[in-house]
Structures are given as structure tokens and as C-alpha cells.
Structure 1
Amino acid sequence: MPESNDWCYSAYAFAHICLIQYKISGEGPGLGEELGDAKMAQTSDFVTKGKYKIFFGMNNEFTICYDDTKPIANNYWQAVNPLMKRMPIFMMQLSVLIALTHVLMLIIRPLRQPQFLSEILAGILLGPTALGITGWISPIINPFEGGLFLETMANLGVTFYMFLVGLEMDLTPIRKIGKTALSVALAGIILPSIAGVGLHHLVLKEEKTQRAPEMGAFFWSIALSVTSFPDLARILSDLKLLYTDLGKTALTAAVVSELSCWFVLVGTISLINGRQKLFVAITIMVGMTIFWFMMRPFISWTVKQISAASKESSTSDKHVYFILSLVLLCGYITELCGAHSNFGAFMLGLMIPGGELGTTIMDKIEDYVVGILLPPTFLLTGLRTNFAYIFAEYSFGMVLLVVLLASSAKIVSTLLVCLHFRCPKRDSLALGVLMNTKGALALIILNEGRNMKGFDQQTFSWTIAAILLMTVIIGPVVSFTHKSARHLKQYNRRSLEKSIPDAPFRVLACVHSTRNLSGLINLLQISNATRNSPIIVFAVHLVELAGRASAMIIFHDKSKTADAGNNATREKAEAEQIVNAFESFENDNHAVTVQPLTAVSPYATMHEDVSNFALDKLANIILIPFHKQPNAIGGWTDENIQHKQVNQNLLATAPCSIGLLVDRGLTSTFSRESHRGMRECRIAMLFVEGADDREALAYAWRMTGTPRLVLTVVRFLPGKDVSELTENVEEDDESGIFTAMFEREKQKQLDDDYLNEFRFRTMHDQSIAYIEKQVNSGDQIISTITSVYNDFELYVVGRGHDRTSPLTSGLSNWSDFPELGPLGETLVSTDLESPASVLVVQQSAPLPAGSKKLKSSAPTQGILGNSAAETFVNHRRAEDDY
């Protein structure tokens, strides 16, 4: 027996870690070798390694004892070596782990890898796989006596992390889950569970020293079945797929998968704690159900009281502290019930309704929990992983088979479901890989299984290797299927000029605030929605991401009146006001379908979210507001530089046509009385040359069916005194001159053909007038507009980013708003008879280098199994499919 001043600790998990660390440390005979020799000789019940004594037990259990006497420090201000205390050991471990994580993140970020990969790699590098074998890492940074405190802090971090997961998770999509998402979720649970049970029994069959299987098969099944909802949301946000059908289906299926796996995990832990007696697990489940229905009303009442107390001010710190205290209380109650504390914290997070309180809690503690409290879990996982002995006592083929089957089970199950629903192959592959997202939740399950002996060190290392493989392939595979130029080749750069006349008009309308609302809605009102050519509007409220780890999307349930009461933040109240305005627009126009949503994203990448969403919905045009607001005297106010940057980024990258609306009174012009014959709506389309002008004419042409709308198309032709611009081409560069001349003649022919078609089809329409004016310079264009065409409510012009016209060359010498183009900026800056709104239209941005436009613009099939052209004709049917 050990001496009285020895401290003994029996731990299955850490005993194995200590054996492997000192076996390869190089200090004298290896501990593993001594252990093997002692077992073979059966002459000793313990081995000694330095200050540690390892006593043998049954079923691979060991008792490790060490002397707890603190050595004298070699300094002048402390009597005891500080590295022998628990807290300094933990602080050193945490500091080294965080620093190594950030270094690895700098390396793997260009490879499209998530932060989770750097965190788990940092833990593995500090473990016995890599740096743990050195002579100073193991005794100083990872000593055995610091293991118990490390595990305690890891459990505390997991408890608060699961609270944040529950707080971030929204159960609303489950109530209206579509058959595709539900099938993906169920297949992702059933098939991987079967694979987990099979792999567990296969490993037991191959083991040379048989051990009791107990509940190990459950931990294998849960680890392979779970999909980490928060990690998946962050990956989708980074890949800018959060707003797509693919992202919605993946997130909805992930919610079902994660909740199911957590309930199975609680039942498994309860059975093990109750010594595999079923009535114990049933009792715990009943207790948790009562806890849910008793605690949830109390939480709702508490949140209402907090919201009422903070109605005139933001949520105070004492309210946040109260909720955090409840996290500890709920964790304590679930521990008393026989479940893990993190499950109680997770349930508490689900109980708190969305609103200002939840947002405040996330803003205040998320960075601390994820950055400080959670990293010990990664170090604990790394200490329990040893790839150096991953093939010990097992063949290479056996280990490779287990890792590959564990990595591909969920991908195969998702592919089978998608093939059944006849989804595109690229969407099926991407969805299968995304559903394989594990993240921190999988590590929590694996560590629970390790503590309860569902895994030994080798099988634990195998599953970690499988998780690493799953994580590494997500970014490259999804980027290849949905972000590469090869994927963009499958889509024609959609334009109004080439669209089918009777096809649905798909508009993505972006709104930053309620001040942008009326102008865009009135523009949509005169866009002539008919039964043969309905308008499908995707109304996006763009909100800056602040204080959150990932972007998010909110789809509004139009069948339920939103509550913008005390729990609503200013952003939520504004979003609901925008939703109500678009719903009223939809109710007044039976040929219009509106799908409103709120997108939260950083301004720097907001254009990527909008572009991907437009690409996913096959939008014909994106409508965006100008970044400045007009004042009462005809000037400008409230310039927003961030909105301007978003507009410029969209103009440079949009996959379809884009219209920038400068609203200067469009709100008051098109009221309901105007449709009753009170007044006419006068629109002027100013045509110079180029693809942008043809696109602007196409939009103006579509408006002509609107009652009481009069369209005047003015084409400016070059006069006799206009000289061709050749200063950009060197005189001796004959090939450049001929290329420019050929391109100009080609564009002129396209302009003539499109205008002739327009004139032929509208020759009997009395509401349309076509006029040609010869001008010699930009000054003559300005004088013509101000003298003759100065009494219109709306001007529609092309941006002209694709041309250098001699007619507008003088106008582009100075420019404060290049996003408006030379003619658009001139209209905004010129004093007309009455301030008029301006719609600047640009055709889709050029394709990336190496890609080609397709001649066909047939709609592709979406992830929900329906063609994109049919999916959103009826918004309620689309929501049901989702």
C-alpha cells in the first residue's frame, strides 16, 4: 500500500494516458514495457516510474499513486514550487493551448478549414501523439496530478457551451419540417447507428483481450449519428450557403439529429449509472419531462419580468447573472437525476425564448465560453488520443476500414435519401458532407464514452481520426460543388433581356431599413405582375452582424402574427415592420408572391450572402437602395459608407442583373389613388448604348402593362461631330484598334436589333413613345434632358460599366458615385423641374476567368427535389417543402 502522504487516484482514462506518455519519453525503461514485463512474469503487483506507482487492477483499471509533497521552489519569494499547484498548471495548459490554436488557425484558414480543426489539432499536438513525448511537456505542462482539475474545468466549460447551443437553437423549423429534411435526418440517425453497432462488435471480435461490451455500442452509434448544429451553422455561414435551400435543409435536419442523439445519450448515461436497469432510465426521462414542463413556464415568466424591467433600457447585468446562476442550478438538478449537467444547461437554453435577453447573454459570455472555458475539452481529448499506437495489436486494414466506415456512414445515408428524391448529385454530395459535421458536440460524446469505458484508447483514437477526416473534407468538397467556377458554368448569367416573356419575374429586394422600404415596394408595384408573368419577391432585410460568432438567417412565418412586444429588439421590430409592409403588398397584388426574411451578416461579406441567395433562387434581378437618403430641400443626408461598399461589391460580383434605386419621392407618387385614375405615372428610359442600357430597357418594357403608366424611350445617337475614342489604344497597335472597332460594331448591332424588336412589338401601344435624339457630347445630353425631358417621376438608365461611349466620356471625368454610372449620376446631380427617382440597371457581372456562358437558361433542380422555377411560385408550398 502507498504511504500515508501519498495521494491515490483511480482513473481508467488517465492511467492509459500516463502509460503511453512515459513509455516513449526516453527516461529509463518505458513504463509500458515495465507493465508488460510485470504482467508476463506475474511477480509484481505494481511498477514504479519516477514519483508514480501504478498498481494493477481488473479490466485494464489501474491505481496511480504519487507523493503530494510540494518541492521547495528555487527562488526568493515562494517556498513551494508553483508548478506543483493545480491552478498554475491549468493556467499554463490553457495559455499554451490557446496560443497553439491561433498559430494553427493562421495555417489552415487559407485551406478553407474551420476553427474547430485547429482546436482539436492543438490538443492532439500537446498530447502523447506529438509534443507529449518530449521530456518537459509531459511532466511540466501535462502532469498527471493536473488531470483531475483539467477534467473539472472541461466539464464546466461543456456545461456553459451546451447552454449557448440550446440558446442559439430554434425549434420552430421542426414544426414545419419538410419530407426531405426529415428523411435526411432519420436516415442520418438510423444507418450510422447500425454502422456504429457493427463497428463496435467488429472491434470486440478482433480484440485479443476480450472485455465486457456493456453500453459501448450506444456511444459508437451516437458519435456517428450526431450532427453539430452550431458548427454546421458556422460552416454554412463561412461558405455563404446559409441562405440557400441546401443550408436550410441541412440546418433543419441537424436540429432533429442533434436533439435525438442527446436524448439517446441521456438514456445511455442513465442506464450505465443505474447499472443497466431500464426502470432507472425511465424514471430519469419522466423526471426530465416534468422538469421541462415545470421549469419552462417559470422561465417564460422570468423573461417577461426581465423584459418589463428593462423596457426603457437595455438588459442589465444582474439579469444575465441570474440566468447564468440558473445554468448551474439546472446542471445540478440533472446530475441529481442521474444525467449529465450539460443536458440540464442545454434544456435551459432551449427554454429561453428569443429576444433581447438571449441576444445580450450571447454577446456577453459567448466569446469567454468558447475562447476560455471550452478549450480544456480539446486538450483533454488530445491527451486521450495517441496516434503513435493506433495500429497496435490491429492490422492496418482493420484500422483503415473502421475509420473509413465511420467517416462515410452519414454521407452514404444522405446520398441514398437524395437519390430517392432525385436531387442533383452536387447537392446530394454537399448535403451528405455537411450532415457529417461533428464539432465540439461529438468530442463531448466521445469523452463521455471514454469515461464510461465505451472506448479504449485505441478505439478513441480511431474515432478522433475519423472526425478529423470528416472535418477536413467539408470545406473543399462543398466549395468544389457550390463555390467553384465549374459550378457557375451550370448557370447562365440571368438577364431580363434574354428572359422568357411569360416566365415568373424573380426579384431579390434588399432593404437596410424602413427608409428604403416604400421606394422598393412602389417600384415593384409598377413592375406589372400578371397571372401569366407573376412576380416572386425575396424580400431580404440586411442587418449587420455584431457580437455573434456566425451569421444567421430568419425565415418569417407568415401564417402567424409576429409578436413585437417587450421581448423584441429594435432590429426585430424593424424587421417585423418590413415583413408587414411586404405582406400588405402581397395581399394587394394577387399575382405577387413574397418570401420575407432577415439576413444577419458582416458588411464586408454581405454581398456574398446576397449573391449566393440570388444564385440559389435563380433571381432575374437584385434591387438595392442607394446609400444616401434625400432631405426635404432636394439634397442628401445620412450617408452610410458601409451600405455604399455593399452596393459596390454587389455590382462587381452579382450573378444576375442588378438595379440600384435612388428614391426621391417615389413613395408619394404611386399611392393607391393613382391606380384609380387620379394621375398618370410618367417614366423615361434614356438609352445610349451597351448591354446595361438594353437591360434597363428590358425592365422599363416590363413596366408598360401597368395601368396609367406612360413610358418614353429616348435614344441618344452620336452626331456628325462625334469622334471615336481611341486614346486608350496605342497608334501602332493595329490589332487593338480592330478589336475595339469590331466590339463596338457588335454592340451597336445588338442595340439596333433589340430596339427594333421593342418598337415592332409596341407600335400599337399608345402608352409608349419612342424618340431618337442626335447629340455630340455629354453636355448636349444634359441640356436635352433639362430642357425637354425634365418632368418624369422615374428615370431608368443603364450603368454603362461595360462601355466607353464618346457621348458620355465628358460626364465620367469626375465622379462621386461611380456605382450610378455617368448618366445616372448626372440625373441625380442635375436640377430638374421636380426631383425624380432614378433606377440604374446593370447586367450581370462578367463570369470568372476560365468559365463560359451557357446558351440555355433552363432552371436547375433544387435540393428539395423540385425545379427552381416551380419551387417558389407559391410561397406557402415552398415553406411546406422546407
Structure 2
Amino acid sequence: MDATQRMVCREDIFNPLTSMGLQMASILVISHFFHLVLRALGQPGPIAQILSGLVLGPSGLSNIHKVRDFFFQASAAEYYEVFGFFCRMLFMFLIGLETNHSHVLRRLRLSSTIAYGGVIVGAIFGIAVSFFLHQQLMLNDKKKFGFVLVIMIMMAYSASPVLIRIAGDLKFATTDIGRMAIYCSLINEITCLVLFGLIISFHKNRFFRDFFLTIGVTSVVVVVNKFVAVWFNKRNRNQKYLRNPELFFMLSLLIGSSMIIEMYTSTSVISCFVIGLTFHKEGKTARTLVQKLSYCVYNFILPIYFGYLGFQFDASILGSFNSASVVIIVVLLSIGSKISGTLAACHYLNIPLNHGVFIGFCLNLKGHADLMFIGQATSSLVGWNTDTYNLLLISIVLNTMISGPVLAMLMRREEKLISQSYATLDLHHPDSELRTMACVYGPRHVSAVLSATAALSGSQTTPTIPYMLHLIELLQKRRTNVSYHELEDNELSDEEGYGGNDVLEIHDAVDVFTAATKILVHISRAVSPFSTLYEDVCSAAEDLHTSVIILPFHKHQRIDGKMESAKEGVRITNQKVLRHAPCSVGIIVERGQAGVPGFSQLLEYVSVQQVATLFFGGPDDREAVAWSKRIASHPLVNLTVIRFLSTDSSSTRNERVGDRQDVEVFMSLASLSTGNDVDNAFLNDFYNQYVTSGQVAYVEKYVNNGTETVAALMDIGDMYSLFIVGKGGRGHSPLTTGMSDWEECPELGTVGDLLASSDFNVNGSVLVVQQHRNSNKDFLDE
């Protein structure tokens, strides 16, 4: 941090700051133009930002004498170094804050194996090429060993911030292969930074001092952050986010500790990541930090930082054959080492070849730490000259410029890499990771959708990633033809103001849910008119690669038990989501009698809930049973699958229970010879796996027509706190004949509409499930 001390003591502080400010503004403007052009070609944002730096740098406009004198002032270099420090500090803290360590731990073996495969092979290639580079660049032989170590780390390194940004732009950050690549990059980066810090510490003979100082300062900040975050969460409960002084205090702890570590050691990058990773992620403190930092980091800091990489690119040095050959060799060996090391690890782990190639190019991205490897931190270790620094910098930029477009091309060719892996739970293994997205229109809907989310999370060991989308109606757009002071009060609200106090109540409910279940819910908002709100829901589900969308019913139950309609726009949005959703959809209807324990008490973990899955046949009912597999593993759920069959099929049964003539029997599905073959085969597998083990109860009810079906449903109406049923797709079933005559809400299907009706007195909530449709038609019960 010597640059900081020299910078603040300068008398001519204005000119360098002006130069740097205009340079940053120019990078942002030009990168935005490139992004508009390259986005149509499927290229990620960092490529456009690096290109903007190339345009402004010595290879572009800075060839003009006056432009070069203004942008490349010698006194401005220290300002860029300080700005780089704040960039590294903030986005590494943000990466740690957004990283769920439990998800990383579940994939630690796979991720570490792939990451270290690339590190080891990259280090070997780096050692091999370093001797050639040392000879070609004619460096000091006394510092040859240090040069070999630095090139070894540079070849092995992978930049996780660059990958995270590109993954977000190309929309593969939430896929299995994308998260695997990000975790590998994080492990790779932390390993290389640790090795780099050890090398610098040993070189300066201060290993123990650096080690204990970094550990001590980081531990103190982690402990202080935990207590302060909890205290801030409890203060001012009527506020959605932290106030600016509180936010400033949290960031001051981070900046202060980072400056101390930077002043006495080599880098504070790892410390910032650890502080973010261990930060208390529940409550408004973490939400405020993520919201405030995400906007400035992803929209200003990273674009400028990537642009600065290209800004330093000087193509004039490539005029000689010797220089060009050095760059080509370094770039090819870097790509080759990452691809070969990753493919070797993937072959050992039985990961497909195309996945290995994709991860290899992800790990070949270079970024901020490379500048430290070849910068002032290693000047005494290596003794860089200008030509060596420029050639290595060019190779770093070219690696990213090559890997970014290649990743975009692979994403277009290998659509399965980012396609919806499991659009239905029918094909989803109950023990595999489940991504759900619950939608709420207001606080009234939170308990119902969170109860469904908790039920789908199953056992505490089942991996679940739940998202919540707060849907807010945009009543009117701001007028653009008037001055700011002429706007009305309801037009002055920015995005933070949308939702009013509903946002606070929703956040409080989610915080209580997280504290009770230890399930971290990611909250976001969609602000749009009701006519297009469904597009936000479907786009979010597609981008997040969720397998389940949970919607609240547009009616709510009054104290007298009657169902009262809310805004008609809620119903229309639900209907459109059912029609266009990229995955399975569930509509939860919250019902119950006053004073009687309902399904929402599942959140309180105080009583066992009785849940019934009604099966009449068809794809939606099979999907409902697939949802039930997850729900059945919840420790406080007793699940019963009730299959409705025609009375005519009872005469074909090969197995009876004694002389009982009841329509309710327990039996093996292997003996069924009637009904749909697909339904029978599906339930047969379900029976053998779940019913025989005692995890789920199975009941059959025999009815002749819809009237008997209604009577049977009324008999069990008070026995269960939740009914799960498929929306429809059963064709002309005699079991539901006549039930649709009084249908009010076709989006719930025949049976779901009956259970949700005010005229049908049941004590349980209703979850209506629709299996993912391959077409955009709205399937209704016939």
C-alpha cells in the first residue's frame, strides 16, 4: 500500500484523478456500445469491456500523441493500483458473500479433483516453458528460480471473478456444469493465491509474521461481523434494509482489515473471500450488502477492471517474431494445460468429454491476480523489465479473449449443457438437488408457499436451493416528458420502493423460516404490469433452471371459511404461467379451520402433518406423486397415496383382503390388470419402493361416478391438512363425470377446483400440480 501513501500526499492530485475518471467513463461508454453489438452474437460482457480497453489503449486511440499524454500520465499509475486494490477487495468479498458453503462442500471432492488436475498440469507446463521464456527474454540468471515459480503459478491460475461474470452473461451460472466450473475456479484461485503468498513471504523472510497477522485480522473481522450483523438485524425492524451509516460501518471493517493485511503482507484477496464466505447470511444485513455491492460491482467496478486489462494491451511490441512467438507459446500452453489437466480429471471421475472441454476453457480465463503475479509484488523476486511485463500481460488478455468466445460457441453447440435438466420431478431422483421457485404477491401468500417449499425440501440432508420471487404490479410508468420536480409522489419511487411495507413483512417471514429450517431462501423481485408479469416468472425459472414453480391461489379464506377473490390480475398471471412455464407448476390453496392445526404449522416444527395425494390417473397425477416422494421424506409428514378406481375394476382383482367388501383396501399394485398401463407401471414402482418400506401408506377407493367421488372426498375432508392432486390430463374419466358442472376455476382442474371451492367444506389446504408441458397450450380437463 505504498502507492496509497504516495497518492494522498501529492500536490498535483487533480490532474491524475481527472485522467483516471475520464478514462473510466470512456471505458464504460465504449464497452456499452460493444456489448450491444456483441450481445447479438452471444458474446459475454467481459469481452466487450476488454475490447473497449483495447480501443482506448496503446493499440487504439492512445496512438494519438495528445491522447497518450493525457491517459498515460506516470503519476496516475499509483491511482490505478489503489483502484485495483478496492476492486479485488470488493468483488472477492461479494463472491464469498454469494457463495453457499454447504453447496460447495457437497461437491468438494469433484470440484477439487478437477481443479487440482488443471493446477498440477498447468504448473508442469509452466515450469517447462519458464526456462525457454527466461532464455528468450534474457532476464537476470540470479533470479531465475523466482521467475520459474511465478510463471508456474500464472499458468496454473484461473480467475473466478471473470468466470462468474461470463457465466452470468451466458446464463449457465445456475446449471450443474456451470456451478461445477465456478467451484473449480474458486478452488484453483484460492490455491494459487495461497502459494503466491507463501512464495513472497518466504522470499522476504517473514512467513510466520504474515501468516499470523492474516489469520488474526481475518478471525477478528469474522467474529465482529457475526455479532454486528445479528445486532443490526434486530435493530429497526420496521426498515427493509440497513441505513447508510450502518452499511458504512460494515464496509469500513472490511476496508480497514484489508488495508492492514495489504500493508504488511502480499495480498488480502483470500482474507476478503473468507470474510464474505463466513458472513452471517440471514437477515437484512446480508441482503443489504448483496444488493448494494452487486449493483456497483457488476455494473461499474468489474467493467472498468476488465477494460483496464485491455487498456494495457500494447500490440506494437508484437512487431518482432521473437515477441510474437513468446506470446503464442504461452497462450497455447496455457490452453493446452487447462484442457489436458481437466480432461484427465474428468476421465477419472467418469465425466463426459464435452463437459471436460467446457470446464477446461472456463478454467483458462485469466484476470486480476495475474496482474499481481507479474506486478510490483514480484519485482524484487523476478526483476521484471518492461518488455517481459507487456508480453505476459498480452498473453493474459489473449487467453481471456479466446476462452470467452469459445465458451459462447460451446454453449450454442451443446445446448444440453444449459438446458433444463429436470423440467419435471417425475424424472428427478428424490435424493438429488432440487431447485424451486416460490412466487408471492404479498405477505398473505408467504406462509402457504413457504410451507410447500419446506415440504418439498424433504429431509434435512436433501439438497434444496429455494428461490422466492416477489411479484409486484407496476401500476404506471414514470413520465419522461416532465422535469424531476414535476413528478408526483407515486412516480418518484425507485425500484427499492416497489412493494411498500409488503417487502418488510415478506423479509421477516423468510428470516423466521430460515431460522427454523436452516434453509436459505434467495429473494428477488419482479416489477411489471399484470399483462406481462408471467414473462418475468417464466424467464426467472428458465434462468435459474428450477424444476418447480409454486404459485399462490388468487383466492384466500375468510374467517367464516368462504373463499374470497383477490385481484383478477393474480388469476390471469397464474393461468399464463401454467401455459408458458418451462417446468412443473404447483398452485397452493391455503385452507383450514380456525383453531385447527393446519399445513402452515409445518414451518413451526411442532406437530406431524397428515398429507394425502389423490391419484385418478394421467401425467399430472403422476407428477403429483413424484412431488409426494420428496414430501414423504420430511420428518413431520405422514403421507398417504389414495388411488381412485372404477368399481367395475374391483371384480378383476386377483387379491382381496379376507372377506372385506369395503371399497378401501390395501394391496400390491403388481396384481392390477385394469386402468392405464403407464399409470399402473408408475404406481407399481412407487409401491415397491415407498409403500413396502413403510414410508408411505397406500389406499384404494372404488367409485362409479363423480357423485361417489365427491362423497368419498367429503369423507376424508377432515383427515388431512394437505391434499395433493394433479391438475388434469386424464381425458374422459368416469370417476370425475359431472364434477365439472359447477367448476369455477379451470386452472385448478376438476378435482382441485372442487377441493378449493367455498361450498366444499374441507379442513386441508390444496396443492394442485401440473406437469411440464412440451407445448404452449393450456391443457384443461375434458
How far is the alpha carbon of 1:203 from its aligned partner? 2.6
Map 1:472-487 → 2, pairs under 5 A: 472-478=405-411, 480-481=413-414, 483=416
Map 1:671-750 → 2, pairs under 5 A: 691-692=619-620, 711-713=643-645
- Sort the Cα spacing of 1:319 and 1:802 in 2 relative to 1 into closer, same or farther, 3 A: same
Give the 3-state SS of the residue equivalent to 1:541 in structure 2. Answer: strand
1:684 and 1:714 in contact (8 A); partners too: no
Map 1:124-273 → 2, pairs under 5 A: 124-134=54-64, 137-142=67-72, 146-165=76-95, 167-168=97-98, 178-207=108-137, 214=144, 215-237=146-168, 241-242=172-173, 245-270=176-201
Counterpart of 1:542 (choices 454, 467, 479) is 467
Structure 2 unaligned residues grouped into runs of 5+? 4-9, 440-445, 472-506, 527-534, 603-607, 633-637, 649-673, 688-696, 777-782
Once residues 146 and 114 of structure 1 are traced to their aligned partners in structure 2, the CA distance between those partners, rounded to angstroms, is: 29
2:362 is aligned to 434
Once residues 298 and 455 of structure 2 are traced to their aligned partners in structure 1, the CA distance between those partners, rounded to angstroms, is: 45
- Sort the Cα spacing of 1:576 and 1:340 in 2 relative to 1 into closer, same or farther, 3 A: closer
Once residues 162 and 535 of structure 1 are traced to their aligned partners in structure 2, the CA distance between those partners, rounded to angstroms, is: 30
1:460 is aligned to 393
Once residues 694 and 166 of structure 1 are traced to their aligned partners in structure 2, the CA distance between those partners, rounded to angstroms, is: 40
How far is the alpha carbon of 1:441 from its aligned partner? 4.2
1:47 is aligned to none
Map 1:576-587 → 2, pairs under 5 A: 576-579=515-518
How far is the alpha carbon of 1:410 from its aligned partner? 1.8
Once residues 129 and 155 of structure 1 are traced to their aligned partners in structure 2, the CA distance between those partners, rounded to angstroms, is: 25
Once residues 662 and 292 of structure 1 are traced to their aligned partners in structure 2, the CA distance between those partners, rounded to angstroms, is: 52
Map 1:108-123 → 2, pairs under 5 A: 108-123=38-53
Amino acid at match of 2:54: I
Counterpart of 2:31 (choices 98, 101, 117) is 101
2:249 is aligned to 322
Once residues 811 and 601 of structure 1 are traced to their aligned partners in structure 2, the CA distance between those partners, rounded to angstroms, is: 39
Which one is further off, 392-401 or 90-99? 392-401
Amino acid at match of 2:247: V
Give the 3-state SS of the residue equivalent to 2:414 in structure 1. Answer: helix
2:562 paired with 1:634: yes
Once residues 205 and 766 of structure 1 are traced to their aligned partners in structure 2, the CA distance between those partners, rounded to angstroms, is: 77
2:424 paired with 1:424: no
1:511 and 1:540 in contact (8 A); partners too: no
Once residues 86 and 580 of structure 2 are traced to their aligned partners in structure 1, the CA distance between those partners, rounded to angstroms, is: 47
Counterpart of 2:235 (choices 312, 335, 356) is 312
Once residues 320 and 769 of structure 1 are traced to their aligned partners in structure 2, the CA distance between those partners, rounded to angstroms, is: 60
- Sort the Cα spacing of 1:369 and 1:654 in 2 relative to 1 into closer, same or farther, 3 A: closer
2:18 paired with 1:88: yes
Map 1:494-505 → 2, pairs under 5 A: none
Larger radius of gyration: 1
Give the 3-state SS of the residue equivalent to 2:396 in structure 1. Answer: helix
Amino acid at match of 1:473: V
Once residues 115 and 189 of structure 1 are traced to their aligned partners in structure 2, the CA distance between those partners, rounded to angstroms, is: 26
2:550 is aligned to 624
Using structure 2 for the length normalisation, give the TM-score: 0.66
Once residues 641 and 323 of structure 1 are traced to their aligned partners in structure 2, the CA distance between those partners, rounded to angstroms, is: 41
2:300 paired with 1:300: no
1:232 and 1:251 in contact (8 A); partners too: yes
How far is the alpha carbon of 1:599 from its aligned partner? 4.6
- CA displacement, residues 245-301 of structure 1 (integer Å, 9 cap, x when unaligned): 534543443333222222233344456xxxxxx3x24x1453342342255236524
Which one is further off, 133-142 or 443-452? 443-452
- CA displacement, residues 39-61 of structure 1 (integer Å, 9 cap, x when unaligned): xxxxxxxxxxxxxxxxxxxxxxx
Once residues 615 and 569 of structure 2 are traced to their aligned partners in structure 1, the CA distance between those partners, rounded to angstroms, is: 29
Map 1:342-421 → 2, pairs under 5 A: 353-355=280-282, 356-369=284-297, 371-372=299-300, 377-394=305-322, 399-421=327-349
Give the 3-state SS of the residue equivalent to 2:467 in structure 1. Answer: strand
1:337 is aligned to 264
Which one is further off, 408-417 or 162-171? 162-171
Amino acid at match of 1:184: I
How far is the alpha carbon of 1:385 from its aligned partner? 0.9
2:530 is aligned to none
Give the 3-state SS of the residue equivalent to 1:227 in structure 2. Answer: coil
Once residues 808 and 151 of structure 1 are traced to their aligned partners in structure 2, the CA distance between those partners, rounded to angstroms, is: 73
Counterpart of 1:662 (choices 575, 589, 592) is 589
- CA displacement, residues 758-792 of structure 1 (integer Å, 9 cap, x when unaligned): 99999xx995234444xxxxxxx7x8977896555
How far is the alpha carbon of 1:574 from its aligned partner? 1.8
Once residues 769 and 816 of structure 1 are traced to their aligned partners in structure 2, the CA distance between those partners, rounded to angstroms, is: 26
Once residues 665 and 756 of structure 1 are traced to their aligned partners in structure 2, the CA distance between those partners, rounded to angstroms, is: 33
Once residues 701 and 144 of structure 1 are traced to their aligned partners in structure 2, the CA distance between those partners, rounded to angstroms, is: 66
- Sort the Cα spacing of 1:372 and 1:610 in 2 relative to 1 into closer, same or farther, 3 A: closer
1:592 is aligned to none
How far is the alpha carbon of 1:99 from its aligned partner? 0.9
Once residues 366 and 537 of structure 2 are traced to their aligned partners in structure 1, the CA distance between those partners, rounded to angstroms, is: 27
Structure with the larger helix share: 2
- Sort the Cα spacing of 1:213 and 1:650 in 2 relative to 1 into closer, same or farther, 3 A: farther
Once residues 383 and 312 of structure 1 are traced to their aligned partners in structure 2, the CA distance between those partners, rounded to angstroms, is: 45
- CA displacement, residues 784-832 of structure 1 (integer Å, 9 cap, x when unaligned): 9778965553776654579899999999999996643576446645622
How far is the alpha carbon of 1:413 from its aligned partner? 0.9
Structure 1 unaligned residues grouped into runs of 5+? 1-10, 12-67, 71-81, 272-277, 526-533, 547-567, 580-595, 673-677, 717-749, 774-780, 849-882
- Sort the Cα spacing of 1:640 and 1:377 in 2 relative to 1 into closer, same or farther, 3 A: farther
Once residues 307 and 420 of structure 1 are traced to their aligned partners in structure 2, the CA distance between those partners, rounded to angstroms, is: 44
Which one is further off, 152-161 or 801-810? 801-810
2:692 paired with 1:769: no
2:218 paired with 1:290: no
How far is the alpha carbon of 1:642 from its aligned partner? 8.7
- Sort the Cα spacing of 1:648 and 1:414 in 2 relative to 1 into closer, same or farther, 3 A: farther
Once residues 400 and 646 of structure 1 are traced to their aligned partners in structure 2, the CA distance between those partners, rounded to angstroms, is: 55
2:496 is aligned to none
How far is the alpha carbon of 1:183 from its aligned partner? 1.7
Percent of aligned pairs with the same amino acid: 20
Give the 3-state SS of the residue equivalent to 2:468 in structure 1. Answer: strand
How far is the alpha carbon of 1:606 from its aligned partner? 6.5
1:714 and 1:771 in contact (8 A); partners too: yes
How far is the alpha carbon of 1:340 from its aligned partner? 4.4
Amino acid at match of 1:575: T
1:154 and 1:373 in contact (8 A); partners too: no
1:129 and 1:387 in contact (8 A); partners too: yes
Amino acid at match of 1:662: V
- Sort the Cα spacing of 1:463 and 1:239 in 2 relative to 1 into closer, same or farther, 3 A: closer
Using structure 1 for the length normalisation, give the TM-score: 0.60
Amino acid at match of 1:297: V
Once residues 683 and 308 of structure 2 are traced to their aligned partners in structure 1, the CA distance between those partners, rounded to angstroms, is: 74
2:646 and 2:735 in contact (8 A); partners too: no
Which one is further off, 622-631 or 423-432? 622-631
Amino acid at match of 2:557: P
How far is the alpha carbon of 1:126 from its aligned partner? 0.7
How far is the alpha carbon of 1:679 from its aligned partner? 13
- The total of aligned residue pairs comes to 656
Once residues 379 and 702 of structure 1 are traced to their aligned partners in structure 2, the CA distance between those partners, rounded to angstroms, is: 47
Once residues 828 and 130 of structure 1 are traced to their aligned partners in structure 2, the CA distance between those partners, rounded to angstroms, is: 67
Alpha-carbon RMSD across the aligned residues, in angstroms, is 5.6
2:166 and 2:404 in contact (8 A); partners too: no
Once residues 173 and 192 of structure 2 are traced to their aligned partners in structure 1, the CA distance between those partners, rounded to angstroms, is: 23
How far is the alpha carbon of 1:421 from its aligned partner? 1.9
- Sort the Cα spacing of 1:642 and 1:109 in 2 relative to 1 into closer, same or farther, 3 A: farther
How far is the alpha carbon of 1:464 from its aligned partner? 1.3
